């Protein structure tokens, strides 16, 4: 009976080490009611460190394969989207398209922004781009879109009070940059 209990504790000690649930021999020993030198002997006899290294390598290999297949899949998806946009651009240039050249250009820019976001979300940023760079570009694009909306409001709404209320409502709906408030836009855009 004692031998079965020892085998069970030995197996549990190995599991605790290999899963990283316990980091040291002393911690494993404390948890299982063993002596640290007994855990050290198990660890040496069964080469737990070698097993853990092998497991880490296998996990890293699987992760690399997963990232690689995700990257290929994402690239294929992006290629297909560009293919559709380029086909529409060609139809537009021939005079048979549904959209204007500018609208197709805006569509392609939107596809590119979406691709950057997808790559960032999956940890597959474009070469040379950091998360901060992509965030700064996104913020600049949001500001540009906001300015376009505010210009349209200025042209379309003649009542100054209504125009101010609409401008404030638009600004308050957007996430604010550090140091600015919704009532005080940093570019004086309304």
140 and 169 belong to one structural domain: yes
Together in a domain, 140 and 189? yes
Exposure of 84 by Cβ count < 10 A (0-12 exposed, 13-18 middle, 19+ buried)?
A: exposed
pLDDT in tens, 118-128: 766 666 555 55
Q: Do 74 and 125 have their domain in common?
A: yes
Q: What's the domain range around 29?
A: 10-46
Residue-wise DSSP of 98-110:
SS-HHHHHHHHHH
SS3 79: helix
Q: Does 59 map to a domain? A: no
Lowest-confidence segment of 21-25, 54-58, 146-150, 179-183 by average pLDDT: 179-183
User: 37-71 pLDDT, tens per residue?
Assistant: 999 999 999 998 888 888 878 877 777 676 667 76
Claim to verify: residue 112 and residue 157 sit in the same structural domain: no
Domain identity same for 179 and 137: yes
State the total domains in the chain: 3
Q: Which residues contact residue 166 at a Cβ distance below 8 angstroms, ignoring those fewer than 6 apart?
A: 153, 157
- For residues 140 and 104, membership in a common domain is answered with no
- Please, are residues 138 and 178 in contact by the beta-carbon 8 Å criterion? no
138 Cβ neighbours under 8 A, 6+ residues apart? 113, 117
Chain mean pLDDT for the chain: 75
- Residue 187 inside a domain? The answer is yes
Question: Would you state the pLDDT for residue 40?
Answer: 94
**Residues 74 and 123 placed together within one structural domain of the fold:** yes
Residue 137 belongs to some domain of the structure: yes
Domain final residue, candidates 106, 129, 152 = 129
Q: Is residue 30 part of a domain?
A: yes
Which of 106, 112, 169 minimizes the C-alpha distance to 137? Answer: 112
The whole-number pLDDT of residue 175 equals 56
Model confidence band, residue 171 (pLDDT cutoffs 50, 70, 90): low
In a domain, 116, yes or no: yes
Residue 155 — pLDDT band, cuts 50, 70, 90? Answer: confident
Q: Which tops the pLDDT comparison, 162 or 31? A: 31
Residues 140, 184, single domain; the answer is yes
93 with 42, same domain? no
Give CA angle at 185 (151, 164), nearest 5°: 55
Asked whether residue 61 is domain-assigned, the answer is no
Any domain includes 2:
no
> What was the pLDDT predicted at 156?
75
Per-residue pLDDT at 134:
63
Q: In angstroms, what CA-CA distances link 101 with 84, 91, 93, 95, 151? A: 14, 10, 7, 10, 22
| pLDDT reported for residue 190 | 42
Asked whether the predicted pLDDT for residue 151 surpasses 80, the reply is no
Residue that finishes a domain, picked among 80, 96, 129: 129
Mark whether 155 and 118 lie in a shared domain.
no
- Residues 122, 141, single domain; the answer is no
Task: Examine residue 55 and state whether it is found in any structural domain, yes or no.
Answer: no
Whole-angstrom CA distances from 182 to 144, 167, 175, 186 are 16, 10, 9, 9
96 and 80 in one domain?
yes
pLDDT tens, residue by residue, 68-97: 677 677 777 777 777 777 777 777 777 777
């Amino acid at each position: 009976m004692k031998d079965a209990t020892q085998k069970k504790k030995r197996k549990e000690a190995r599991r605790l080490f290999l899963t990283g649930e316990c980091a040291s021999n002393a911690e494993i020993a404390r948890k299982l009611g063993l002596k640290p030198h007994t855990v050290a002997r198990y660890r040496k006899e069964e080469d737990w460190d070698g097993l853990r290294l092998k497991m880490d390598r296998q996990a890293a290999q699987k992760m690399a394969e997963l990232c690689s297949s995700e990257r290929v899949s994402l690239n294929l998806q992006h290629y297909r989207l560009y293919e559709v946009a380029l086909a529409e651009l060609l139809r537009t240039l021939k005079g048979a398209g549904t959209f204007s050249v500018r609208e197709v250009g805006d569509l392609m820019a939107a596809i590119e922004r979406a691709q950057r976001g997808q790559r960032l979300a999956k940890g597959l940023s474009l070469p040379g781009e950091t998360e901060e760079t992509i965030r700064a570009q996104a913020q600049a694009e949001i500001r540009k879109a906001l300015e376009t909306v505010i210009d349209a409001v200025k042209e379309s709404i003649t009542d100054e009070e209504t125009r101010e209320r609409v401008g404030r409502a638009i600004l308050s709906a957007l996430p604010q940059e550090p140091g600015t408030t919704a009532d005080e836009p940093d570019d004086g855009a309304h």
